[in-house]
């Protein structure tokens, strides 16, 4: 596998970074193999006008060009807000298939997932990487829909597109100008491909365990019989209440079925309804489940990211040929909390993988990855999830 890394900024326009680009001069020229897949992550503003997509399409006319808006892009050890980070992948022996489905409303998320599953399902399907609208999709249902078709043995990873701390609109592109209400999924096929995955949070739970006493889908109404928003506002204090819903990311909720306390999930807030005193989360909030507030410590969050990288690196080929790509999808909440310290978690992932693995990724409104304990693909929040993509020799 070969990777070309590119970036775009307002001031510099497109620039190439890695040795292979230097070595080959241009993506088009000289190389016998054409590019199969282009992944790009960027702020909503520069992506919205479609110019950048057209430019990428021109650069990689035969490749599937897939990307989304973010809450910050990761490119190796750097985190940027206004740039666009790109990785162009050429596979030796792996086939790529792209599925694109509209996502009109959260209630249709499962159907949307099922449609994707049907498009991509195949006996040699080795993994699916999903990028979804971050505000109009119930991520849990989307993943459940895909899995209901392809089965649990196929790892499904990816994330929900972001919009910084604004939560206004998220965009996804799949061989098209990035737009909202869209879900893109890339299927990887063949015996050579090795897809590793890891997911970890590193958050510390604190305060009493509460019970979800009223909810509907991914809207949480009450905890222990009191409006959920009241609790958050109390914890945030006046200063942070203004920053809702973004500031609620500082206190994610750990939830679990009281029958299966080890299979806990972390949920993060997407929106608040100040009149109804309810909060909309990125995934289901089943009534009767236990909920506990979480808070982050910079060092432990970074250690969590390292843990996710370790999990993912177990699955990658030991002597993989060419380059390897680690796609990092981390939660916007982590970034909001850590501020300048966020770089620490990206560096921690890099330290685990070493220099051969190119790292590209983004801060999201939700992460998709198999659960570390159950192995069942889920929507996560407030985690760092890592998808490692390599090809095995021979």
**Site stretch for other proteins (CB under 8 A), options 147-155, 305-313, 339-347, 359-367:** 339-347
CA distance 70 to 182: 14
* Using rule CB under 8 A, residue 355 touches other proteins: no
CA distance 348 to 357: 13
Closer to other proteins by CB, 24 or 292: give it.
292
Tokens of 300: 């432990």
Binding-residue total with other proteins (CB under 8 A):
19
Quote the CA–CA distance of 386 and 130 in Å, as a whole number: 13
Tokens of 181: 């209400």
Say how far apart CA 103 and CA 294 lie, in whole Å: 30
Binding positions for other proteins, 294-313, rule CB under 8 A = 295
Query: For other proteins, which residue of 11, 13, 168, 239 counts as binding (CB under 8 A)?
Result: 239
* CB closer to other proteins out of 24 and 226: 226
- The answer to the question of residue 262 lying near other proteins (CB under 8 A) is no
Applying CB under 8 A, does 17 fall inside the site for other proteins?
no
**Smallest distance, other proteins to C-beta of residue 349, A:** 16
Q: 10 vs 239, which CB is nearer to other proteins?
A: 239
Q: What are phi and psi of 62, to 5 degrees?
A: -100, -5
Footprint of other proteins on 149-208 (CB under 8 A): 206-208
The nearer residue to other proteins, 194 or 267, going by C-beta atoms, is 267
340 near other proteins (CB under 8 A)? yes
- DSSP string of 220-285? EEEETTEEHHHHHHHHHHHHHHTTTTGGGGGS-EEEE-TT-TTS-EEE-EEEEETTTTEEEESS--
Per CB under 8 A, 227 contacts other proteins: no
Round to whole Å and give the CA distance between 388 and 325: 6
Which residue in 251, 281, 320, 363 binds other proteins (CB under 8 A)? 251
The span of 12-20, 58-66, 87-95, 337-345 binding other proteins (CB under 8 A) equals 337-345
Residue 341 binds other proteins, judged by CB under 8 A: yes
CB 268 within 8 A of CB 252: yes
Of 23, 28, 34, 234, the residue at the interface with other proteins (CB under 8 A) is: 234
How many Å apart are CA 50 and CA 9, to the nearest integer? 15
Q: At its nearest, how many Å lie between other proteins and the CB of residue 234?
A: 6
One residue of 86, 87, 250, 309 binding other proteins per CB under 8 A: 250
Q: Which stretch binds other proteins (CB under 8 A): 29-37, 267-275, 332-340, 369-377?
A: 332-340
Q: Assess contact for 250 and 240: CB atoms under 8 A.
A: yes
CB of residue 10 to other proteins, shortest distance in Å: 17
Query: How many Å apart are CA 289 and CA 315, to the nearest integer?
Result: 32
Per-residue burial over 180-218, b = 16 or more CB atoms within 10 Å of its CB, e = otherwise: bbbbbbbbbbbebbbbbbbbbbbbeeeeeebebbbbebb
Write down the least CB distance from residue 14 to other proteins, Å: 19
Angle of helix 109-120 versus helix 139-150 axis, rounded to 10: 30
Classify 144 as helix, strand or coil. Answer: helix
Query: What does the binding site for other proteins look like in residue numbers (CB under 8 A)?
Result: 206-208, 234-237, 239-240, 250-251, 293, 295, 337, 339-341, 343-344
């Amino acid at each position: 596998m070969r990777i070309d890394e590119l970036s775009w900024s307002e001031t510099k326009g497109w620039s190439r970074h890695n040795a292979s680009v230097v070595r080959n001069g241009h993506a088009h020229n000289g190389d016998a193999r054409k590019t199969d897949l282009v992944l790009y992550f960027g702020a909503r503003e520069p992506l919205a006008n479609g110019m950048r997509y057209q430019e990428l399409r021109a650069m990689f006319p035969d490749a599937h060009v897939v990307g989304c808006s973010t809450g910050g892009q990761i490119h190796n050890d750097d985190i940027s807000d206004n740039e666009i980070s790109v990785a162009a992948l050429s596979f030796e022996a792996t086939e790529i298939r792209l599925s694109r489905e509209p996502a009109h409303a959260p209630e249709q998320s499962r159907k949307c997932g099922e449609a994707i599953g049907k498009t991509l399902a195949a006996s040699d399907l080795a993994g699916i990487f999903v990028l979804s609208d971050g505000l109009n999709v119930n991520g849990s249902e989307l993943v459940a829909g895909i899995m209901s078709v392809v089965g649990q043995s196929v790892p499904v990873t990816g994330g929900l597109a972001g919009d910084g701390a604004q939560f206004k609109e998220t965009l996804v592109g799949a061989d098209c100008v990035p737009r909202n209400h869209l879900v893109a999924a890339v299927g990887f096929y063949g015996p050579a491909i090795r897809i590793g995955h890891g997911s970890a949070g590193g958050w510390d739970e604190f305060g009493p365990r509460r019970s979800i006493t009223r909810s509907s889908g991914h809207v949480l109404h009450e905890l222990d019989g009191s409006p959920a928003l009241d609790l958050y506002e109390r914890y945030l204090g006046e200063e942070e209440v203004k920053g809702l819903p973004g500031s609620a990311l500082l206190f994610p909720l750990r939830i679990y079925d009281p029958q299966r306390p080890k299979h806990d999930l972390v949920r993060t807030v997407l929106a608040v309804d100040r009149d109804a005193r309810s909060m909309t989360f990125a995934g289901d909030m089943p009534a009767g489940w236990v909920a506990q507030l979480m808070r982050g410590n910079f060092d432990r969050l970074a250690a969590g990211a390292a843990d996710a990288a370790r999990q993912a690196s177990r699955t990658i080929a030991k002597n993989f040929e060419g380059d390897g790509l680690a796609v990092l999808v981390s939660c916007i909440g982590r970034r909001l909390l850590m501020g300048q310290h966020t770089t620490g978690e990206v560096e921690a992932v890099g330290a685990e993988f070493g220099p051969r693995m190119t790292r590209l990724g983004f801060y999201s409104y939700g992460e998709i990855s198999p659960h570390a304990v159950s192995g069942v693909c889920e929507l996560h929040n407030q985690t760092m999830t890592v998808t490692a993509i390599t090809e095995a020799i021979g």
